[in-house]
Structure 1
Amino acid sequence: MGNALSLTDMPLGIAIHNIEITRGRGRQLARAAGAVAKLIAKEGKLATLRLPSGEVHLVSQNCLATVGQVGNVGVN
């Protein structure tokens, strides 16, 4: 369990999960057991994330995410 914050309030390099793509639409990224994404950059109003698949994704810095990794790592 972790703290949910906007990406604006998180430091670079932090491990996050349960990420919104659009503010207010609900958490949509990195939700599976053991999933973790990394906040790799913040520029202007956008944040760059590296997802568990290796894909790089841009989302608004106003979006919420939960700090840490999804539990139950051994399932995958």
Structure 2
Amino acid sequence: MPLGTAIHNIEITLGKGAQFAKAVGVVAKLIAKEGKSGTFTLPSGEVRLTSKNFSATVEQVGNVVVNQKNLSSVGSKCWLGKRPVVRGVVMNPIDHPHRGGEGRAQIGRKQPTTPWGYPILRKRSKKRNKCSDNLILRRRSK
């Protein structure tokens, strides 16, 4: 594969299947090949190292304009199978951690959480010493 090639469906671990750049309209670029490894940039801006004999699909995934379609009414969203989203604050106490309170109360907890009670803000969700950290050459910008 020549340098600068646009690729998607990138496989990192051999035999595991595609792991990166799988969404519609997403493309990664192969920027370097040296020894037994290749380097590519992901759409997030992260630069990552991988084995040279990784598998990927050349070119970009089709149907790039799928997110630009104008859904004119609520009914058209329902036809696509998208259900209404209910805020956690208006749910019952049993249904969500943001729940409950008298009247239009704010979030009843000290910090916002997921429906399973894990903190959302100011808490990193990635493991600190993940084994694939040494394959990341440049992190994505926040």
Measured against the shorter chain, the TM-score band is 0.7 to 0.9
Match of 2:5 in 1: 14
TM-score by length of 2: 0.46
Alignment identity in percent?
72
Higher relative contact order at CA 8 Å, sep ≥6: structure 1 or structure 2? 1
Match of 1:43 in 2: 34
Backbone CA RMSD of aligned residues: 0.9
Bigger helix fraction: 2
Of 58, 61, 64, 1:67 maps to: 58
Q: Post-superposition shift, 1:70?
A: 1.1
Bigger strand fraction: 1
Unaligned runs of 5+ in 2: 68-142
TM-score by length of 1: 0.83
Aligned residues: 67
After TM superposition, where is structure 1 displaced by more than 3 Å over at least 4 residues in a row?
none
